[in-house]
Amino acid sequence: MDRAVVLFVLLNIWTTCLALECSVVPGSLKQIDAGSGQVFGVSSKDEIFTLYSGAWMQVPGSLKHVSVGPAGIWGVNSGNYIFKLQGGDWTVVYGMLKQVDAGGLGSPAGVNMNDDIFCLPKGQGGSWTNIPGKLKYYSCGPYSCWGVNSADNIFIMKGVTPTACAGSLSWELISGGLSMIEVSTDGKVYGVNFKGEMFARDGVSPSSPAGTGWRHIPFDQKVKHVSYDLGHLWLIGTDNSIMDCTE
C-alpha cells in the first residue's frame, strides 16, 4: 500500500476516534450541569429540570443557573439569590451570586454580579470566603478550580481542598480563551469559546492540575454550554438544543 494512502487511513482512524458520538435529547435548556451521577438544567423561562429514568422531570422553583456535584444541588435565581436543594425544598442561602458551582469537595463556589469570586468552606458555617480577583465564571473539581474573566482569559487555582476552598490564592494564567469552563467531579476540564467551539484540557491529573494543553473537539453545531460526568459530555447548543455525547 502506498505510504500516502497508509497515512490517510491512519489519519481518518485517529479523527474518527476523536469525534463525538451524540444523541439529541428531547427538550430545550439554556444551561445544564452534570455531577455525581445526576443531571440538572434550566430552561429559557428559568424552569428547573432533572433527568430521571431517561426523561426530564420538572423541579418546583425558578432558577437561571443550577449546579449539581459533591457539594449538593445549588442554584441562583434571576435576582441573584442563592438556593440549595434540601429535603426536596429550595432553601435560601445567605449571599448573592450570578453563577454557582457545586463541583468542589463539599464546598460550593461562584461569582457575583461584580465578578467577585467566592467559595463556602465545608463545615464552617454560612460565611462565604472572598477570593481575590475577578471572574465571570468559576468551576471547581476535586483538586483545582478553573475560571474565565470578562476578557475570556483562563485561570486555574491550585491547592483547593475541602477545608481550604480558596486554594493557594495564587492564580495561574492558562493559554487560550474561553467564554465558559466546567470541571467535572473527576477533574476533567471542558470549555467553550465565543465562537461556540468546544475544547478539552489534556493531561489534567492530581499531580498536574493545569494539564498539558487544549484539544479542540470537532462538532458541526455551535455550543454555548458543556458539562461532563461519568463518561457523558452534555452539550447545550446556541438554539438551546440538548445533546448527550461520548468520545
Domain of residue 150, CATH code: 2.130.10.30
Phi, psi of 28 (to 5 degrees): -145, 125
Cell numbers given for 87:
429535603
Whole-number Å distance between alpha carbons of 118 and 127: 10
- Look up the domain containing 160 and give its range: 24-246
Encode pLDDT of 104-129 as tens digits: 888 999 999 999 999 999 865 679 99
Encode pLDDT of 119-161 as tens digits: 999 865 679 999 999 999 999 999 999 999 999 999 999 999 8
Whole-number Å distance between alpha carbons of 99 and 105: 18
Whole-number Å distance between alpha carbons of 117 and 101: 11
Question: 119 lies in a domain?
Answer: yes
Question: 15 lies in a domain?
Answer: no
Question: 18 lies in a domain?
Answer: no
Question: Amino acid identity of 13?
Answer: I
Question: 9 lies in a domain?
Answer: no
Residue 84 has pLDDT above 70, yes or no: yes
**Average model confidence (pLDDT) across the chain:** 91
pTM for the predicted model, two decimal places: 0.90
Question: 192 lies in a domain?
Answer: yes
Question: 4 lies in a domain?
Answer: no
Residue 94 has pLDDT above 90, yes or no: yes
Number of domains in the chain: 1
The pLDDT score that the predictor gives to residue 1 is 43
Residue 119's Cα: distance from chain center in Å?
A: 16
Question: 7 lies in a domain?
Answer: no
Q: Can you spell out the DSSP letters for 57-80? A: EEEEEE-SEEEEETTEEEEE-TT-
Question: 170 lies in a domain?
Answer: yes
